[in-house]
Structure 1
Amino acid sequence: MEIALRPEIHSYSGGLGILAGDTARSCADLELPVVFVTLASRAGYLRQEIAADGSQVAHDDPWNPAEWATPLDAMIAVGIEGRSVWIRPWLYVVTCPIGHEIPVLLLDTDLDQNAPEDRRITDRLYGGDDVYRLKQEIVLGIGGVRLLQALGFSIGTYHLNEGHAAFLTLELLRRRQRSDPGANRLAHEVDHVRDMCVFTTHTPVEAGHDRFSYDDVRRVLGADFVPLDELKPLAGEDRLNMTRLALNLSGYVNGVARRHAETTKRMFPGYRIAAVTNGVHPVTWTHEAFARLYQQILPNWGHEPEVLIRAEHLRDEDVWAAHKAAKHDLLEAIRRSTGVAMDPDVPLLGFARRMTGYKRPDLLFSDLQRIRSINGRFPFQVVMAGKAHPRDEEGKQLIREIHDWMRALAPGIRMAFLPNYDIALAKTLVAGTDVWLNTPQPPLEASGTSGMKAALNGVLNLSVLDGWWVEACVDGITGWSIGRDGAEEAGQHADALYAKLEGQVLPLYHQDRARWVWMMKQGIAKIPSYFNSQRMMRRYTTEAYVRP
């Protein structure tokens, strides 16, 4: 549904889209024969403004495909509510530094041939009601398969990145049945579709799994596309569950971290769920000061990030100088955006996520008196960023409360909230903080990747043991854990966070700079050398795409 290609193309909302963009960049680096399909999302997701009272104000965030992509001379139609809805693709090309190119197709229904209501189907990312989302996912899945064929692509494997694309399995199934209409062939055709499909699920949160009423499906898609007596055993008896449809029609299924795969097995028992832990694209997320440093001693680090294991041998003064440059850029961005002047010599904690309840951006503020006490002994600063979905009232309330707490803690503790979190701001944030804070409610963090990006820049992680951090945390070496096994309650996690800040993290920064820099080098060597999208795509290629 989304992909983050560049800041000016607003076809993404958060982590899922950022990961898709990193995947495309690594496919280009590795010269893999891959084509990406997504929606144009001309109106974008949202542009965030923060009002004087700390409330989020959501604005449209449109972009013009003609400025960044090329319209292709091909159109196909899908049936929606009995009408032919025409789809045209825009082509954006991802190019790696050595020249290999990966095509990205952005599907667009804003065409003169379509009725006014149909022109808006690909308009707004994650907007509208269930029927609007259903239409979008028909365009993505069914329309995507048809356009690939119309453009002459020969597809051996379809990789569904989240359940939003699951209708492509029905299109493949329908084509097989038409080509071989013999009786009692359904099981055979299902097996054939499974052989062609790979499914990655990204969320352990129930609200993240799209479900549609069968009445809406029959009315919008048509009763004859796939008969309900064939569809319900694949997608659920009561409602069409897009995740279950993808699970049943994919031959390889994976979660995005080891713990997430375990959680998914509990949510959907009876399915074989592999684990391919997410990674990030190293060149994209490394500050130029660190990139120059790596290039001097590890000239192939961008293409083979596993060589970063040798970062332990970097000179301390070089690592600290690169960090100071990255932190300077962030402090300037904070000053320009909010007017808050941060101190470069005081440790800066960063938190940037989608603002929603289970991410717990409020955990740090559980006890304001405790925060003041810690700051009195070991001064620190905080920078935060993140958008709430326009329909997420809890997330919007959290943004208001965070601003209230920041005002209550001023002027003793410098704090800032940067509006309109996007790719460009994320690059600055993950590079320039001293500590990257992550406090999700276990087991609801599927993977998370922002901490991986921070580690590329020597930023130390302080995180609840969930998602990818379970695999990467060596406490006191690559960063720090909050709690022991991730099973603690929110109050226990708050106490553990304060204890770790007061007892280990902040004293180390203030009192033992040599050990701090040693940990920075440990983080660089042990995290991005493994948690990168090159390794991720090599695993998908050998384990998911090429199967016996």
Structure 2
Amino acid sequence: MTPLDPYLARTRIAYLSMEVALDPAIPTYAGGLGVLAGDTARSCADLELPVVFVTPVSRDGYLRQEIGSGGEQIDHPDPWDPAAHATPLDAMVAIRIEGRPVWIQSWLYRHACPHGGCVPVILLDTRLEQNDPADRGITDRLYGGDEALRLKQEAVLGIGGERMLRALGFEIQTWHLNEGHAALLTLALLRRHRLSAGRPAEGPLLYDLDPVRERCVFTTHTPVEAGHDRFPYDLVSHVLGDFFEIDQLRPLAGEDALNMTRLALNLSAWVNGVASRHAETARRMFPGYRIRAITNGVHVPTWTHPAFARLFQRIAPDWAHDPDTLVRADRLEDAAVRAAHAEAKAALVEETKARCGAALDPALPVVAFARRMTGYKRPDLLFSDPGRLRAIAARWPFQVVVAGKAHPRDGGGKALIRAVHEQARALEGAVPVAFLPGYDMALAKVLVAGADLWLNTPLPPMEASGTSGMKAALNGVPSLSVLDGWWAEACEEGVTGWAIGRDGDAAEAAGHARDLYAKLEGTALPLWHGDKDRWTWMMKQAIARIGSRFHSQRMMRRYAAEAYLR
């Protein structure tokens, strides 16, 4: 019996993602895309869906963040040992990169849920003695290196992932591409289909596209133009050689460069965005394609603080498996909700002290912002008028906690981290501001449960979905957010939280800081300080109206019914 025997007979769906957040001790993720993929795997196990996940092993992780004395981000590798968490598998496959065979080994990670369901995750690894030294590190660092390394990584995921599953004995009927990183899979399928049909790899594609399209599902996540990978065709030829003729590739992937999103769109019969607003944005970016919407969700038992889990057990014993039942959260006793939040907040106070030495006051509200540090997320919006912040805090005292990493090559994101630290120093004595380094799954769990108000300030329409506010809502934390991404669907003013701006239109962005300050000073903070009963009512509404709806169980039921079982 092999480690894969329990999965081979039933697994019919493959989910390919450049990053998957499996466990806080396994840093194979950079941010929201990977955390979503991890929650997807967790819900697939819960629902016993026949899915196998494929991702690079990323032995050196993404980055371990250190904050220097001047507030600068210092990047370090974040290594982990696959042998401590996964089982090596016997099969090896090779793909040709720069004319050389690059061998790929696989590791098996099993994610099991308390109900007994389990899904396999295949980790692809090129650190092998059989490989040229220049190729061994392809799968070492998530999103590391230059454009050429990025293309090699995507070739390993898409082309290598397809070959590996076949070599391991999986018979896949549906391929789910989580973002365009895996789009080269479609070319691998197209090439295999043509050869199996007795046609040469070159020649007209007219009769070969539909059989591949019908097997592919594509989820696009980014409404940011720069977020769609493009590779010059001379680089594609250099890296992939004659795997696919460039003249045949141009109609599918773009005339001037290989656009991975365009390739996935053209060779996937089912395409979706990750929120209703995002699907609208994607349809404007890529006219002519049918792009549906399945709003992201979060894995409820993963992100619920133990204190709230105990409360949920009283009113909805099946809440972890069927989070729809959290609609009953409005029945919770106020005192019990406050006690659970106090326990979660105490953990945040302790974590903040340990990470950066700042002493939060549990008697004051905590406004939290934790996102990837990059320009369109606008982590500096809250600090755009320090004088106004001081005036608000003098009337309604509050404190701020910030966390987030910048991509190693995102100079603008790193500058924002420095700017937040500068503002924190400037506001000292008036508004306590703590920046918590090392934002990851473990810290996120503490933040989303311990905050009092969750802040999100993206520049619309650049928020694809966002899920941090969903996790906060599970723990009774209302949001104050721009009406973009998922919040455009979830915001009920004064019930689940508050909106910044009116409709998420970019034309209103100039007024977002003004509206943010107005909501803090005139609504949210006065309510927290002056009407605990109403605030607690909102906490329960956040759980009941958001927690019961924006979860990955519902998300995966929709994928299964609408995308996988077409």
Provide the residue aligned with 2:52 in structure 1.
35
2:335 counterpart of 1:317:
yes
2:129 counterpart of 1:123:
no
TM-score normalised by structure 1 residue count: 0.99
Counterpart mapping for 1:402-441 below 5 A = 402-441=420-459
Provide the residue aligned with 1:519 in structure 2.
538
Q: Indicate conservation of the 8 Å contact 2:279/2:291, yes or no.
A: yes
Provide the residue aligned with 2:320 in structure 1.
302
Provide the residue aligned with 1:546 in structure 2.
565
Counterpart mapping for 1:87-236 below 5 A = 87-182=104-199, 186-223=205-242, 225-236=243-254
- Note the residue ranges of structure 2 that are not aligned, 5 or more in a row: 1-17
2:22 counterpart of 1:5:
yes
**Structure 1 Cα separation of the partners of residues 256 and 554 of structure 2:** 40
Provide the residue aligned with 2:4 in structure 1.
none
Provide the residue aligned with 2:301 in structure 1.
283
Note the C-alpha offset of 1:489. Answer: 4.0
Instruction: Give the match's secondary structure for 1:72.
Output: strand
Q: Indicate conservation of the 8 Å contact 1:363/1:490, yes or no.
A: no
Provide the residue aligned with 2:258 in structure 1.
240
**Among 485, 496, 517, the residue aligned to 2:515:** 496
Provide the residue aligned with 2:481 in structure 1.
463
**Among 532, 552, 556, the residue aligned to 1:533:** 552
For 1:158, the aligned partner's letter is W
Note the C-alpha offset of 1:98. Answer: 1.3
Note the C-alpha offset of 1:402. Answer: 0.4
2:417 counterpart of 1:399:
yes
Provide the residue aligned with 2:13 in structure 1.
none
Instruction: Give the match's secondary structure for 1:416.
Output: strand
Note the C-alpha offset of 1:108. Answer: 0.2
2:40 counterpart of 1:23:
yes
Provide the residue aligned with 2:386 in structure 1.
368
Q: What percent of counterpart residues are identical?
A: 67
Provide the residue aligned with 1:507 in structure 2.
526
**Structure 1 Cα separation of the partners of residues 395 and 291 of structure 2:** 47
Q: Indicate conservation of the 8 Å contact 2:460/2:509, yes or no.
A: no
2:66 counterpart of 1:49:
yes
Note the C-alpha offset of 1:411. Answer: 1.5
**Structure 2 Cα separation of the partners of residues 181 and 214 of structure 1:** 28
Count of residues paired in the alignment: 546
**Structure 1 Cα separation of the partners of residues 206 and 395 of structure 2:** 67
For 1:209, the aligned partner's letter is H
Note the C-alpha offset of 1:490. Answer: 3.7
Instruction: Give the match's secondary structure for 2:447.
Output: helix
2:385 counterpart of 1:336:
no
Deviations 1:19-50 (A, max 9, x none): 00000000000000000000001111111011
Q: Indicate conservation of the 8 Å contact 1:387/1:421, yes or no.
A: yes
Note the C-alpha offset of 1:230. Answer: 1.4
For 2:145, the aligned partner's letter is G
Indicate the RMSD between aligned Cα atoms, in angstroms.
0.9
2:117 counterpart of 1:67:
no
Note the C-alpha offset of 1:388. Answer: 0.4
**Structure 2 Cα separation of the partners of residues 118 and 228 of structure 1:** 24
Note the C-alpha offset of 1:185. Answer: 6.3
Note the C-alpha offset of 1:182. Answer: 4.2
Instruction: Give the match's secondary structure for 1:75.
Output: strand
Q: Indicate conservation of the 8 Å contact 2:349/2:360, yes or no.
A: yes
TM-score normalised by structure 2 residue count: 0.96
**Among 473, 486, 493, the residue aligned to 1:475:** 493
**Structure 2 Cα separation of the partners of residues 182 and 168 of structure 1:** 19
2:250 counterpart of 1:250:
no
**Structure 2 Cα separation of the partners of residues 379 and 133 of structure 1:** 47
**Among 291, 295, 298, the residue aligned to 1:273:** 291
Provide the residue aligned with 2:6 in structure 1.
none
Note the C-alpha offset of 1:228. Answer: 1.8
**Structure 1 Cα separation of the partners of residues 371 and 283 of structure 2:** 26
